[in-house]
Chains A and B, each alone.
Chain A
Amino acid sequence: MPVFNLAYNPREMDPRPDLPASDARHKAYWRRNIRYVGILLSIWFVVSYGCGIVFAEALNAFRIPGTNFPVGFWFAQQGSIYVFVVLIFIYVRLMNRLDREFGVDEKEDA
């Protein structure tokens, strides 16, 4: 009965050629990706932790126009969720465009 195999067993890699690690275009692709993620997560942070939590009490002095929602309360229980959904769909669009621009999108036969 073999005991638990503690020796690491390297996984075989997909043999198809990808971008070489040193490739400048690969680095540029990754930098753009990081920038998109950074911008989108800043919005994510400001809307939820900013408007919904830290500044919620101050914003509650105002009402969402046309409704009776205090602004901070609305961001915490409604607004932040809507923004989250929109952020993901924006990310999908940006990344799909970036993939095509750098030719790393998945071909139909992949």
Chain B
Amino acid sequence: MNVQSWTFLLVASSFALYIGIAIGSRASSTKDFYVAGTGVSPLANGMATAADWMSAASFISMAGLISFMGYDGSVYLMGWTGGYVLLALLLAPYLRKFGAYTVPDFVGDRYYSQVARVVAVVCAIFISFTYVAGQMRGVGIVFGRFLEVDVNTGVFIGMAIVFFYAVLGGMKGITYTQVAQYCVLMFAYLVPAIFLSLMITGNPIPQLGFGGVDQASGTALLDRLNGLHNELGFAPYTSGTKSTLDVFFITAALMVGTAGLPHVIIRFYTVPKVRDARISAGWALLFISLLYTTAPAVAVFARINLINSVHETPYAQVPEWFTRWEETGLLAFDDLNGDGRIQFVGPDSPLTNELTVDPDIMVLANPEIAELPDWVVGLVAAGGLAAALSTAAGLLLVISSAVSHDLLKRGIRPGITEKGELLAARISAGVAVVIAGYFGANPPGFVAEVVAFAFGLAASSFFPAIILGIFSKRTTREGAILGMIAGITFTASYIIYFKFVRPDLNTADSWWFGISPEGIGTVGMLINFAISVTVSRFTPEPPPHVKDLVERIRVPSGAGEAHGLNA
């Protein structure tokens, strides 16, 4: 069997598995549809949260980015895991006790205001759509490269699968497919990593292997890589080039953004008790850390392999994977000095670099570069699809519940029946799938920028509003609304200015205090906190029933059922 038949077989059987699970877990009420009937066990919720969270960006892009950024790539590793500590300690247990169905639900009730609810709905929908676009690009890359079908056909197949289990099963269907998707994606990530670690270092555990000895040269692997980087004119791998302040701010924006992302927060509504919400955040991070501690090892292995296999290789003798990726346009060679050989060098080299590599291809190309068996290549394709589809489904549910619950039930049509709301939820999930499919077929050319945007917005809007809502009884409606608007406006303006209006000025010299657009969400968050606290001091105290609500969410007893439907 060749690579393509293996890929086809593994992708098709994983899809069949997801469909089978979806048929077995249909939603019969809005409670099933929004929060899986709050009957998910903490362990299963931990796994589902891990799959929900680990997107195409984590699976496909992250190790490649780290591979190219070295130490600077740590912002993703710490930023996208450290946020779970904030979630577990500051948000999850209290939001579970509150027992709503959506994030705007909490914001609207805690701040006794429909304006706050609408601001939250707009943020939730915007954040989720930008994210979905990124997932669909991942689906397109995998299909285009491995199954050699047209990207649009690939996106259409992916959408059909998501449509099936998200529309039919809502949160209930999504949860159990995500558990399966976690197993598929984790297995697909670990197998090539273990192979690579054994081949390069002789140690089967990648987390230890990349701190070990390179078997080919007999020197420490990281020293060998730093040596190669020095030789080829790249910055040292283990030190990086970003300023310490910028690394600090980017890490903080990603951590806080993680804790403010609605599709992650709503997963903690699905467990039976407050105690379960706490422990399932622990399980989620444990499952996530399995991939996140492997990724930096994969990054090092991929870097070494890439340099060894392409630098000074005659173009006429490049391996098959090289030509195949060239066809996708994500790998490009331009023989500037006409010697017929590939020069892959950094900015400090006297030679001219002739190879451009999109970091997105590193994880997918890795098994081929290392000449691993064909079935491993197919497995990685199935894993990438699992990561993209599981996240896309979680995001689509946020969009659907924002429309059917927050806008219809809690806004325009309070009298809507249970059956009507369920139908509205299914229809809006269906419409959201179609819009996401459109983005997948016509991806905006600036997906990476837009994802940074989503984190900045989540960090500067939801996070302070929720934290203050729980930890400060004095925070008022006016404070929270003005804080959210100021935080978002500041962050969005800074990012739009440097990314879209004047991209030519997007350098450390023109940034405020050297803070890049990726890290500006941290400043937006601080502005939000400052304005919320100050305005709250000068506006009338929240009404007694709201203070009572805050007192109640601070103690676990009496959580019982989610009481989001009683308005």
Contacts and interface: CB of A to CB of B under 8 A. Distances in A.
Interface of A: 2-14, 16, 18-19, 21, 26, 29-30, 33, 37, 40-41, 44, 48-49, 52-54, 56-57, 60, 64, 67-70, 73-74, 76-78, 80-82, 84-85, 87-89, 91-92, 95-96, 99, 103-107, 110
B551 to A, nearest CB: 4
Contacts of A44: 82, 85
Given A68-B212, A82-B289, 7 more contacts: A13-B548, A67-B208, A73-B239, A84-B84, A99-B275, A106-B273, A106-B556
Among all A-B residue pairs, the 9 with the closest Cβ atoms: A68-B220, A76-B74, A67-B211, A77-B296, A69-B211, A88-B282, A73-B238, A21-B551, A104-B557
Given A91-B278, A104-B555, A10 B293 contact: no
Contacts of A99: 275, 556-557
A13 B238 contact: no
A47 to B, nearest CB: 9
Contacts of A103: 557
Interface string B273-297: 1110011011001100100110010
B113 interface: yes
B350 interface: no
B397 to A, nearest CB: 22
B82 A48 contact: yes
B65 interface: no
Contacts of A49: 248, 251-252
A4 to B, nearest CB: 5
A29 to B, nearest CB: 7
Interface in B141-193: none
A104 B463 CA distance: 27
A5 B412 contact: yes
A104 B558 CA distance: 9
Interface string B104-128: 0000010011110010000000000
A29 B81 CA distance: 28
7 contacts: A11-B549, A11-B563, A13-B545, A84-B81, A88-B285, A99-B557, A104-B557
A85 B74 CA distance: 17
Interface string B532-567: 000000000000010111011011111110010011
B275 A105 contact: yes
Nearest to A7: B114
B551 A110 contact: no
B330 interface: no
B554 A30 contact: yes
A78 B244 contact: no
Nearest to B213: A68
Contact of B74 (A16, A19, A57, A77): A77
Taking each of A11, A54, A56, which has the highest tally of chain B beta carbons within 10 Å of its own beta carbon? A11
Contacts of A95: 93, 278
Interface in B263-316: 273-275, 278-279, 281-282, 285-286, 289, 292-293, 296
B566 A37 contact: no
Interface string B213-252: 1000000111100000000000000110000100110011
Contact of B211 (A6, A68, A107): A68
